[in-house]
């Protein structure tokens, strides 16, 4: 993490650098960032910014963001999408392209994603494709998006055969995470975001996991300082991993802890029925139990994680769906190599690895988890 300049520092904001050579960028974390606008001061002036948001977040925050962007962009316009994971598809993406073309947007246009991970992923993918690639900024407004999806440049839409199957790596120019925007977030969404915070502690930072364990009540009560620490530390961990392995050739895959199970749950029951973070919560329980079954960790490590996930209010048991269907969906996971299933697993006292597991064992773990 590095110091922030002048007005931002006065406002108590923090800066996390994602170091990727000429594609490096800052994640600014703090309070009143949209209201004060200084978080955008580092941007070069541009002709046109298009805010991409949805019909829930737009009415709450788009006016404030428009005002903040006017200091940097001659023109600021807006595209509003329908809300929900069910709309993270080709049709919605095309709606963004239609709007950009209708407004004569060119290669100097900057897209600004204002919303949760769904808006962020669609906007990032639209920016990656439009005129072969234009700039975009992430203004994440859910906890999940602030700690995970807005950082690292993964963009995607869903396909009926699998989640996030169509996408691109395209890094944003700037991420502005204003924790005050979380004050209107429904509690279920806040809890879902905690799953990704817990994930970082579980796989890469034991001290952070202990801090989360002790600070759950403050986080759930939307304490500003606790939220800033959770977002900042999560972004630091993610920035460090992404800087070392941008394209997920190795280490970045660890960030998918719990996600092989989670994506199968989401696809299996239909997008949007469980929130992504809820599926990740349950997925981490299953992955920890699988690690234990494979003899990679002592039972206490799995029990402790399960207890934190439960105390956060996340599901710890799979939804009511045939385990064979879940296993079927795991076959399209992006980590699978030549048909062999690979999982992010816990190892030893603090570590994590990517390792294979048989479908029989996975089914057994699903069964045991349901019946425990």
Angle of CA points 103, 106, 107, to nearest 5°: 150
Q: Which of ligand GLY, ligand NAD, none sits in contact with 56, Cβ below 5 to 8 A by type?
A: ligand NAD
Residue given tokens 């460090």 in the structure block: 240
- CA distances from residue 220 to 12, 58, 191, 293, 316 in whole angstroms, order as listed: 22, 24, 7, 32, 18
Window 180-219: contact mask with ligand NAD (x via CB under 6 A)? -x--xx---x--x---------------------------
Shortest Cβ distance from residue 115 to ligand GLY (Å)? 17
Of 123-131, 173-181, 249-257, 361-369: span binding ligand GLY (CB under 6 A): 249-257
Residue given tokens 């003899």 in the structure block: 295
Q: Which neighbouring-strand residues pair with 51?
A: 78, 112
Do residues 88 and 145 touch, judged by C-beta distance below 8 A? no
Q: Which neighbouring-strand residues pair with 111?
A: 50, 136
What's phi and psi for 110, nearest 5 deg? -115, 130
Q: How far apart are CA 18 and CA 25, in angstroms?
A: 5
**Of residues 218, 200, 325, the one with CA closest to residue 261:** 325
Q: Of 54, 158, 164, 256, which is the active-site residue?
A: 256
Q: Which of ligand NAD, ligand GLY, none sits in contact with 256, Cβ below 5 to 8 A by type?
A: ligand GLY
Under the criterion CB under 6 A, does residue 245 sit at the interface with ligand NAD?
no
Q: Which of ligand GLY, ligand NAD, none sits in contact with 88, Cβ below 5 to 8 A by type?
A: ligand NAD
Residue whose Cβ sits closest to ligand GLY: 255
> Catalytic annotation on 91?
no
Interface pick for ligand GLY out of 54, 158, 256, 260 (rule CB under 6 A): 256
Shortest Cβ distance from residue 261 to ligand GLY (Å)? 14
Under the criterion CB under 6 A, does residue 117 sit at the interface with ligand NAD?
yes
Interface pick for ligand NAD out of 110, 138, 149, 256 (rule CB under 6 A): 149
Residue whose Cβ sits closest to ligand NAD: 117
Nearer Cβ to ligand GLY (54/256): 256
Shortest Cβ distance from residue 153 to ligand GLY (Å)? 8
Nearer Cβ to ligand NAD (26/121): 121
Window 148 to 177, contacts with ligand GLY (CB under 6 A): 148, 152, 154
DSSP 163: E
- CA distances from residue 260 to 114, 279, 316, 324, 363 in whole angstroms, order as listed: 27, 10, 15, 14, 13
> Catalytic annotation on 199?
no
> Catalytic annotation on 238?
yes
Nearer Cβ to ligand GLY (226/255): 255
Nearer Cβ to ligand GLY (141/256): 256
**Where do runs of H (alpha helix) occur along 130-205?**
143-144, 187-204
> Catalytic annotation on 72?
no
Q: Of 189, 248, 266, 278, which is the active-site residue?
A: 248
Q: How far apart are CA 276 and CA 338, in angstroms?
A: 26
Nearer Cβ to ligand GLY (51/156): 156
Q: Which of ligand NAD, ligand GLY, none sits in contact with 38, Cβ below 5 to 8 A by type?
A: none
What's phi and psi for 107, nearest 5 deg? -70, -15
Do residues 297 and 288 touch, judged by C-beta distance below 8 A? yes
Sign of the torsion angle spanned by Cα atoms 247, 119, 89, 326: positive
Do residues 113 and 150 touch, judged by C-beta distance below 8 A? yes
First to last CA, the chain: 42
Shortest Cβ distance from residue 175 to ligand NAD (Å)? 12
Do residues 165 and 156 touch, judged by C-beta distance below 8 A? yes
Which residues sit at the interface with ligand NAD, rule CB under 6 A?
Answer: 54, 56-57, 60, 83, 85, 88, 115-119, 121, 141-142, 144-145, 148-149, 152, 154, 164, 181, 184-185, 189, 192, 275-277
Which residues sit at the interface with ligand GLY, rule CB under 6 A?
Answer: 148, 152, 154, 252, 255-256
- Which active-site residues does the annotation give? 132, 154, 196, 238, 248, 252, 256, 259, 263, 276
């Amino acid at each position: 993490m590095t110091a922030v300049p002048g007005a931002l520092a006065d406002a108590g904001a923090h800066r996390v650098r994602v170091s990727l050579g000429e594609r490096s960028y800052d994640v600014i974390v703090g309070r009143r960032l949209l209201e004060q606008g200084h978080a955008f001061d580092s941007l070069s002036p541009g002709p046109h910014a298009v805010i991409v948001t949805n019909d829930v977040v737009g009415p709450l925050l788009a006016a404030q963001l428009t005002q903040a962007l006017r200091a940097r962009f001659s023109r600021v316009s807006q595209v509003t999408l329908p809300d929900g994971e069910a709309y993270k598809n080709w049709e919605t993406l095309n709606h963004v392209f239609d709007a950009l073309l209708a407004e004569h947007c060119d290669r100097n246009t900057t897209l600004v994603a204002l919303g949760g991970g769904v808006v962020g992923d669609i906007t990032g993918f639209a920016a990656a494709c439009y005129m072969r690639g234009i700039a975009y900024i992430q203004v994440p407004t859910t906890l999940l998006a602030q700690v995970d999806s807005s950082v690292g440049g993964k963009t995607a839409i869903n396909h009926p055969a699998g989640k996030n199957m169509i996408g691109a790596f395209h890094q944003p120019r700037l991420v502005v995470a204003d924790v005050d925007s979380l004050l209107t977030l429904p509690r279920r969404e806040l809890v879902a975001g905690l799953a990704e915070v817990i994930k970082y502690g579980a796989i890469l930072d034991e001290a952070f996991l202990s801090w989360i364990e002790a600070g759950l009540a403050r986080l759930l009560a939307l304490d500003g300082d606790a939220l800033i620490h959770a977002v900042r530390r999560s972004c630091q961990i993610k920035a460090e991993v992404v800087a070392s392995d941008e394209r997920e050739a190795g280490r970045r895959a660890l960030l998918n802890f719990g996600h092989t199970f989670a994506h199968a749950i989401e696809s299996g029951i239909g997008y949007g029925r469980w929130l992504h973070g809820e599926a990740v919560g349950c997925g981490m329980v299953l992955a920890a139990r699988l690690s234990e079954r494979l003899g990679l960790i002592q039972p206490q490590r799995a029990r402790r994680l399960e207890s934190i996930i439960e105390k956060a209010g996340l599901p710890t048991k799979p939804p009511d769906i045939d385990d064979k269907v879940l296993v079927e969906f795991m076959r399209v996971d992006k980590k699978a190599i030549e048909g062999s299933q690979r999982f992010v697993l816990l190892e030893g006292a603090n570590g994590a690895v990517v390792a294979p597991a048989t479908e029989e064992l996975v089914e057994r773990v699903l069964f045991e988890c349901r019946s425990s």
